[in-house]
Structure 1
Amino acid sequence: MSLLKHGLQLILVLLMLSALSVYGIDRWVSWKSKDHIISDITQVPEFQVAVVLGTSKYLGKTLNEYYSHRINAAISLYELGKVSRFLLSGDNAHRSYNEPWTMKRDLLKAGIPEGNIFLDYAGFRTLDSIVRAKTIFDTDNFLIITQRFHCERALFIAQYHDINATCLAVSDPINHSGIKTRTREVFARTKAFFDLYIFNTQPKFLGPKEPIIIEPTNTTSVDEIVEEQAEPSNKNDSQ
């Protein structure tokens, strides 16, 4: 009986440690990424490339607001002159389900030239989308477009791989509690931690490079904007 009691206590301790670890990873991911997230689209500096992370356009017969908010943000960024090229990364599981092509059609309808749109059909997971943006499409200074919870995990992955990325956090769906999504995200972050630090997981597919050709630019980075705002004024008080 004593052995059974000790066994139950051990299980309880292990469960508590696991819960604390999951919580700690979740908070660490948020902390690591907080300085590279922008919530106001008007504050986004100019980027040559934005990576739009894919999701299903419809949930049944209902438009998926996770999708529409990302696409609308991409269109607005182009119209504001803040982004010139888009890498649309998502799942292409079968002919009737093609996230990159669906996003491309909506950008084309909005008047974005086809030559400014690039497709990554092998963005099966966030890790694949972020790593492939650098290794396959040869871009290392890009804007990610997705919801804030997803921004944090995407940036966590980017930072591990020494990828220079910023994320625009678009709105969550209206009238959506997000409890189910938030719970799923907590475990997705734990998986991301193990993928990066334990298993060294790589994208499912790599292949030859498909560089996105960009022009030299003098755009100001997010870090430079923050530094400028933090610097004291050098003006002479006597003037």
Structure 2
Amino acid sequence: MEAVIVEEKPETGVIVMNGREFMTDAKGRLVPLANVSAQDKLEDETVRKIIGYAKELSAQIARFRDHTIGDMNSFDALLAQEYGVFKGGRKGNKTYHSFDGLMRVTLQVADQITFGPQLQIAKTLIDECLNEWSADSRPEIQAIVTRAFNTDQEGKINKSELFMLLRLDIPDDRWNRAMDAIRASMRVTGSKEYVRFHYREKVEDRWMPITIDLANA
């Protein structure tokens, strides 16, 4: 029985079997390279090139983030050791400035929040309120409620809109019970650190962000 010699070329997506070239399609089938259209080959080459750069950049950003937090932690430890001073604000938020006041690094610690079954009780009470109020009144509240309880593609509700509901002052017993239910539903499951970078040309200028987020670049 003839041995099958397989050579894979991940950079091109080509598999060589006993001298013949194939590409794997989305169903896992081996398609002879000669049967793959020039358009599909070009698209595959373009995507592999972009993804290669994206993986390298992602790894570089991860290393940069780790080094940045490590540098700040080392600075904090030095302050604590030398001067007995502990840098940090509420929930561990910290801000660092250059001596000339033109550069700023901020470490923010945000709670990761999920919601328990009480949230459904809150939604029922809110719906009762909205159905009882006249159709023409408080349309802005209806819009906030709709946005707050609409889930995104990951099935998560809109936290910012939900928190906006909590800030509304409405003298209605059921509404207030709904807000209590929202508060009772909140579960802090952990925290995440975010690092922000800003600069300005002169002290009088507004801070300008240094964007590392691809979506906002």
Fold match by TM threshold 0.5: no
Name whichever structure is richer in strand by fraction.
2
* TM-score, with length taken from structure 2: 0.27
* TM-score, with length taken from structure 1: 0.25
